[in-house]
Amino acid sequence: AQKITQTQPGMFVQEKEAVTLDCTYDTSDQSYGLFWYKQPSSGEMIFLIYQGSYDEQNATEGRYSLNFQKARKSANLVISASQLGDSAMYFCAMRNTGTASKLTFGTGTRLQVTL
Amino acid sequence: DAEITQSPRHKITETGRQVTLACHQTWNHNNMFWYRQDLGHGLRLIHYSYGVQDTNKGEVSDGYSVSRSNTEDLPLTLESAASSQTSVYFCATQRQAMDEQFFGPGTRLTVL
């Protein structure tokens, strides 16, 4: 069975600094996808970034990048130049090709950006 | 603009009552999902559907049912609400299997 582990329940970062949110996964599949979602205090789930297991380069979307280390089964989210609006819960999720659409989520990391 | 809506946004009900949470999308996506979010568990999949008349159980489906009579809607029914079903419920849609999922705003359900 697939599993996502986020070991940091909470993180603090100063405004304009970079921060890394950890995510490790467990799967026996060769083909899978990794997602990061942001959940601000308003509650909605916002898709941030996606990495496919066969992608040779790390995914980037603006200030978000995904540090994908396949051998270590880790898919850490890096947020550069943190902003106050980045304060939110962040969830890592995995999709296995065998299960097509279904996502398995981690328990999340709460990020607080301070002045 | 295409969107996904959930109603009601907040609901308080009593143990034993039947409750239906609505999910409506205008993206014309075939794939739809229901998740529940609880502290310490992240989001867990309740039911999902790959199209009209198709429904499948997720990892926490006991006590819940869904039906898909059209592309736009996937209502989630709690047959006999229990206090353990107090949670935030999210509906999500997906254009095709390899794509990201788009989430609705969520429904906060309290079962007293």
Q: Render pLDDT for B87-96 as a digit per residue (tens, 0 to 9).
A: 999 999 998 7
**At residue B47, does pLDDT exceed 70?**
yes
**At residue B98, does pLDDT exceed 90?**
no
Determine the Cα–Cα distance for residues B33 and B91; give it in Å rounded to an integer: 6
Distance from CA of A107 to the nearest CA of B (A): 4
Q: Which of A33, A91, A100 sits opposite B43 (nearest CB)?
A: A91
Determine the Cα–Cα distance for residues A30 and B103; give it in Å rounded to an integer: 27
Tell me the chain A residues in contact with residue B98 when contact means C-beta distances shorter than 8 Å. Answer: 33, 95
Is the Cβ–Cβ distance between B42 and B52 less than 8 Å? Answer: no
- pLDDT range class, residue B72, cuts 50, 70, 90: very high
What was the pLDDT predicted at B39? 84
Q: Which of A35, A44, A107 sits opposite B40 (nearest CB)?
A: A107
Q: Which residue has the higher pLDDT, A35 or A96?
A: A35
Q: Which of B35, B94, B102 sits opposite A101 (nearest CB)?
A: B94
How do A10-14 and A109-114 pair as beta strands? parallel
State mean pLDDT over B13-37. 96
Tell me the chain A residues in contact with residue B48 when contact means C-beta distances shorter than 8 Å. Answer: 101-102
Please state which of the ranges A25-29, A63-67, A68-72, B90-94 shows the lowest mean pLDDT: A25-29
Tell me the chain A residues in contact with residue B92 when contact means C-beta distances shorter than 8 Å. Answer: 45
Is the Cβ–Cβ distance between B63 and B78 less than 8 Å? Answer: yes
The two counts, helices (H) then strands (E), for chain B are 0, 11
**At residue A98, does pLDDT exceed 70?**
no
**At residue B40, does pLDDT exceed 90?**
no
What was the pLDDT predicted at A96? 73
Distance from CA of A51 to the nearest CA of B (A): 11
Tokens of A50: 């996606």
| C-beta atoms of B43 and A103 within 8 A | yes
Tokens of A84: 């106050």
Question: What torsion, rounded to 10 degrees, do the Cα atoms A108, A48, A79, B44 define?
Answer: 10
Tokens of A18: 């970079």
Tell me the chain B residues in contact with residue A35 when contact means C-beta distances shorter than 8 Å. Answer: 100
Return mean pLDDT, chain A.
Answer: 92
**Using CB atoms and an 8 Å cut-off, which of residues 46-65 of chain A contact chain B?**
46-47, 50
**At residue B44, does pLDDT exceed 70?**
yes
Q: Give residue B34's identity as a one-letter amino acid code.
A: W
A vs B: CB pairs below 8 A: 51
> For B49-71, how does the pLDDT look when each residue is reduced to its tens digit (9 = 90+)?
999 999 999 989 999 999 999 99
What was the pLDDT predicted at B90? 97
Tokens of B4: 């996904």
What was the pLDDT predicted at A99? 56
Beta bridge partners of A33: A52, A95
**Contacts for A67 with CB less than 8 Å, ≥ 6 apart:** A20, A58, A74, A75, A76, A77, A78
